A and B are shown apart, each in its own frame.
Chain A
Amino acid sequence: MDDLNQLLLGFQVALTWHNVLFMIVGVLLGIVVGVLPGLGGPNGVAILLPLTFGMDPTSAIILLSSIYWGALFGGAITSILFNIPGEAWSVATTFDGYPMAQQGRAGEALTAAFTASFIGALSGVILITFVAPLVAKFALRFGPAEFFGVFFLTFCSFIGTGRENKAKIVASLALGFLLAAVGLDTISGDLRLTFGSPELMKGFDFLVVVIGLFGVSEILLTIEEGLHFKGKRAAMDLAVVLRTWASLPRYWATLLRSSVVGMWMGVTPGGAIAASFMGYGLAKRFSRTPEAFGRGEVEGVLAPETAAHAAGTSALLPMLALGIPGSATAAVLLGGLMIWGLQPGPLLFIEKKEFVWGLIASMYLGNVAGLLIVLATVPVFAAIMRIPFALVAPIILVVCAIGAYTVESSRFDIWLMLVFGIVGYVFKKLDYPLAPLVLALVLGDRAEDAFRQALLGSGGDLSIFFSNGLVSTLMILALLLLFWGPLGQVRQLIARRIGLARAAPASP
């Protein structure tokens, strides 16, 4: 009940004129970011983050999280109209969204996608409203060992649930940790891994890395595909929207299923992409007409969008309550919080109540605003995609360079951005996942501090990580997730052996 009062106070914070204005501006910017190639959620937020340093933290985070909502909505536009997924989690949306657009049902597909996004996001926000304070309260009892346990769980679930080659996920994580270690060590005060270079003394700023990895590399990848986009036209009018909405209650089971899948996958990190595919797969399996999927079935748009957005939103839950982001964009937002001097984690719920609840309230409002704005402005944003790439690309690159520079007012950072642009291009082409790298870069110092403090407390004894029920559970869960894939393979292998052993005597 207390939390609901807090939420009402939060709405009062979020509903001031200038915060609503920031919300609308954020959503519009976010849609642009989501529609344009080379700008996605993570680096759209990263580029704009330095501009918000002068604002008060609540307004700043409302602006930035609205960009996030906008980018989530915008991704669907390109998936459906152009068959180009704006983000990895909109890949599944193209399966049925683009065929619908080809059949001239683009308006229907877009309405379905936006509404599904909205429902997914809403279920994520509701989860945050009710569960985040409980998690935060629970986490107040955490010591360094428990915190390291949670970090460990996060990284292991990335490795365990990732679709990429496991060795590459580990390599990406480890590289992120090493990059995070460069510069001043907070505990001993020594310089590490700088090799005497003064430019490296301040370390690698994650914003610069994100702008390079996600921005510059995306432009390079897009150019590779050729310079032209061929899109379908979308006719949006109120009749189409209302007719689509009227048909939605029929799919309540799909929406519910995808929301639950999304929420679960979002809280356990690395999941938005997996969630969208799982949502799609489940909808197809439970459908009465599975053969219609892939040929323009509304359910095939609804299911992945709901799941992806439920996951994308739920990814903010561990970020707020534990200080551990569930996605690359959440990691960037978390970095922003730290720059404003807000330490995300359980204490935030006690010390900065009005900030936390203002943010949660803005999630409700931002999504409502996002849905209305995106429905009203689809034709405008679809037109953006028709601007020649030779004009859009240099502007994006200029904006990336400015974004990298403004983080620390350092020209060296622009060079770093270029280097990470190449790294991102090569890594993406070789299927090295980038999100673990960013996550490790943002969390590296804190994970290391927790690890060292825990070991200091125990005098170097690793059994501290199994010293009580809570931390043991976390570590065992983490190890289970880590070895989930290999265990499954072993199980299959054994099952096959047994199967062979049984089959052998039957056919002598």
Chain B
Amino acid sequence: MVDASPPISERGISRRLVETLVALSLLGVAGLALWDSYGRGAGWDNGPENGFFPARVAWILVIAAIATLVSALRREESVFVTYSQLRLVAQVFVPLFLYVLAIAFVGIYVASALFMALFMVMLGSFRWWQTLLAVVLTPLIIFWVFELQFRVPLPKGPLETMLGY
């Protein structure tokens, strides 16, 4: 194919690629739903069987996904996200991922404190006492609001057990 698209000012992930991937994932979801629904019965047995409705919705999704796929392949190429933007997004996403991972081990309070510290040091330009203040105060406020005021228990870890909660 001749490259007829206008020059892209900043390099990044192709939008057409992402559009295609999303449309294919939607097709995959629809396929799973069809497989499950027809497996349990999507026809008529003294009334609609329980796969009846999902199967029909899944067929609609198949059509819609194919339509987006076709228009994605026909549209002009552009940038979905530039690499520099992606690096910024990753700077938020990776700590967030680690945070959710950490909740399982150390509970939400300690994990939140670590997450905020990591985030503020990595992305902000704060004085050390500002970071410390935010990192200590936020979990304490959350604890006061949720555990003490609304009596909603949040995930806890070894530190909280040590303190008797």
Q: A391-B126, A402-B108 are in contact. List 11 more A-B contacts (CB 8 A).
A: A167-B67, A171-B61, A185-B50, A193-B37, A195-B36, A223-B88, A391-B124, A401-B103, A409-B153, A418-B97, A430-B19
Residues of chain B within 8 A (CB-CB) of A51 are 150, 152
Query: Do B119 and A394 touch across chains, with their CB atoms under 8 A apart?
Result: yes
CA separation between A352 and B63, bound complex, in Å? 43
- B93 (CB) vs chain A CBs: closest residue: A220
Query: Do A223 and B154 touch across chains, with their CB atoms under 8 A apart?
Result: no
CA separation between A422 and B32, bound complex, in Å? 20
Residues of chain B within 8 A (CB-CB) of A426 are 18, 22
CB 8 Å contact bits of B47-74 with A (1 = contact, 0 = none)? 1111111100110110111011001000
Q: Give B107-157 interface residues, CB cut-off 8 Å to A.
A: 108, 112, 115-116, 119-120, 123-126, 134, 138, 142, 146, 150-155
CA separation between A193 and B80, bound complex, in Å? 32
Query: Do B126 and A192 touch across chains, with their CB atoms under 8 A apart?
Result: no
Query: Do A429 and B81 touch across chains, with their CB atoms under 8 A apart?
Result: yes
Interface footprint category on B: 35 or more
Residues of chain B within 8 A (CB-CB) of A226 are 88
CA separation between A448 and B56, bound complex, in Å? 11
Q: Give A389-405 interface residues, CB cut-off 8 Å to B.
A: 389-391, 393-395, 397-398, 401-402, 405
Give the total of A residues in contact with B, Cβ under 8 Å. Answer: 59
Query: Do A398 and B93 touch across chains, with their CB atoms under 8 A apart?
Result: no
Query: Do B50 and A175 touch across chains, with their CB atoms under 8 A apart?
Result: no
Query: Do A227 and B19 touch across chains, with their CB atoms under 8 A apart?
Result: no
Q: Give A359-409 interface residues, CB cut-off 8 Å to B.
A: 388-391, 393-395, 397-398, 401-402, 405-406, 409
CB distance from A190 to the nearest CB of B (A): 5
Asked whether any CB of chain A lies closer than 8 Å to the CB of B100, the reply is yes
CB 8 Å contact bits of B11-22 with A (1 = contact, 0 = none)? 000010011001
Query: Do B65 and A388 touch across chains, with their CB atoms under 8 A apart?
Result: no
A193-B36, A405-B155 known; A390 vs B123 contact (CB < 8 Å) = yes
CB distance from A209 to the nearest CB of B (A): 14
Residues of chain B within 8 A (CB-CB) of A193 are 32-33, 36-37, 54
CA separation between A378 and B36, bound complex, in Å? 53
Residues of chain A within 8 A (CB-CB) of B93 are 220, 422
A192-B54, A224-B89, A391-B126 known; A456 vs B68 contact (CB < 8 Å) = no
Asked whether any CB of chain A lies closer than 8 Å to the CB of B161, the reply is no
Q: What secondary structure prevails in chain B residues at the interface with A?
A: helix
CB distance from B103 to the nearest CB of A (A): 6
Q: Give B82-99 interface residues, CB cut-off 8 Å to A.
A: 85, 88-89, 91-93, 95-97, 99
Query: Do A170 and B64 touch across chains, with their CB atoms under 8 A apart?
Result: yes
Residues of chain A within 8 A (CB-CB) of B153 are 409
Residues of chain A within 8 A (CB-CB) of B142 are 398, 402
Residues of chain A within 8 A (CB-CB) of B97 are 418
Query: Do B92 and A170 touch across chains, with their CB atoms under 8 A apart?
Result: no
Residues of chain A within 8 A (CB-CB) of B126 are 388, 390-391
Asked whether any CB of chain B lies closer than 8 Å to the CB of A460, the reply is yes
Residues of chain A within 8 A (CB-CB) of B91 are 223
CA separation between A165 and B95, bound complex, in Å? 34
Asked whether any CB of chain B lies closer than 8 Å to the CB of A455, the reply is yes
Q: Give A137-172 interface residues, CB cut-off 8 Å to B.
A: 165, 167-168, 170-171
Residues of chain B within 8 A (CB-CB) of A187 are 50
CB-contact partner of B92 in A171, A391, A393, A401, under 8 A: A393
